[in-house]
Copies of this chain bind each other. A is one copy, B any other.
Amino acid sequence: MKEGKPATIKEIARRLKISPSTVSRALNDHPSIGLVTTMRVKKVAAEMNYEPNQTAIFFKQRKTFTVGVVLPSLSEPFFSAAISEIENVANERNYTVIMGQSLDDADRELRILQTLKTHRVDGVLMSIGKNTRDYPFIELLEAAGIPIVFFDCVPDLNTINRVVSDLETGMLEAIDIFVSCGHLAISLINGPVLLPASIERKKAYLKGLSKCGIPFREEYIVNTDLTPEGNEAAISQLLALSDRPSAVVSFNDYVALDVMKTVRQKGLALNQDIHFISYANYPLWKYMENPPMASIEQFPGEQGKKAAELLFELIDAVERPEPVKVVFKSRLVNQVS
């Protein structure tokens, strides 16, 4: 009944006048231990309020049953949806999850990875920050034999495991539906020019146009730095055109929110004078009076889940397998009209 320090194997061994290893084996249901002694040991263990000292076990087994998750932000809906699923998968397998947020700061990101390494996590899930240019952490973890799976925002390398969304499919669908509604002046409000995510969107946009036989007009692509001001500037630029677009695909729902607000303020009618589709499928559209025509869903939860499952495969693998690439096709959802 002494609540002070939890009992150790040694103590319960002494109490039963048997050896510590027998106790250890009994507690772990080792086949070579007699049923009776196993029972006796377990009984006394319970009485003495025994709890295995995991830190000792981690130390001995060289395994921590812990995975690290590194994300740009924990409060962003996309990532919190992902991490929620990741926690689920880990929980099922009796792993714990350590998390860190880089806040798009490459130094902080690296520091977190360092910490995870010294904590001897068994694996890492990661989505890199916007400002991460090179990836020293890859060989850092590689050298320590810690498998890593990237998702969503991933380094552009073929040598790594990654789960990403294919932004093209959704974009093609979006343009298709715009065209089938009679729109020909279709614009793209893209993110920062250099961002891989922007480049991919632009490529998909161009492909979508050409598939529908719509000529590309340079002035129909504008960029935003993703700040509210940038978003507003971007839409203003489009609206100022002599033949302003009647349909717009925007970088993501956050951009769309700003943009649509500006449009309203300028006295234009949403879903009438001008129509929107954007990436991300913010879950609240359904409550709005004039939501975008549709959203391009990227399935953050599913991505996180898949990435986690992949990671656990790697952790359990004996041989290091070839790098895996899993692609989630983005899809148009929430069509309102």
Contact = CB atoms under 8 A, between A and B. Distances in A.
A119 B56 CA distance: 10
Contact of A73 (B76, B84, B98, B119): B84
Contacts of A261: 286-287
Copies in the complex: 2
Interface string A229-267: 000000000000000000000000000011011001000
A58 B81 CA distance: 32
Nearest to A108: B91
Interface stretch (A21-29, A47-55, A178-186): A47-55
B55 A6 contact: no
B74 A144 contact: no
Which 10 A-B residue pairings sit nearest by Cβ, starting from the closest? Answer: A80-B80, A75-B84, A257-B287, A74-B84, A59-B59, A55-B59, A75-B80, A54-B118, A55-B58, A3-B143
Given A53-B120, A56-B59, A91-B108, 7 more contacts: A55-B62, A74-B84, A75-B84, A91-B100, A97-B99, A258-B287, A289-B290
26 contacts: A51-B144, A53-B120, A54-B118, A54-B120, A55-B55, A55-B59, A55-B120, A59-B59, A75-B77, A75-B81, A77-B80, A87-B99, A87-B100, A87-B101, A91-B108, A91-B112, A96-B115, A96-B116, A97-B99, A97-B100, A98-B98, A257-B287, A261-B286, A261-B287, A284-B284, A288-B289
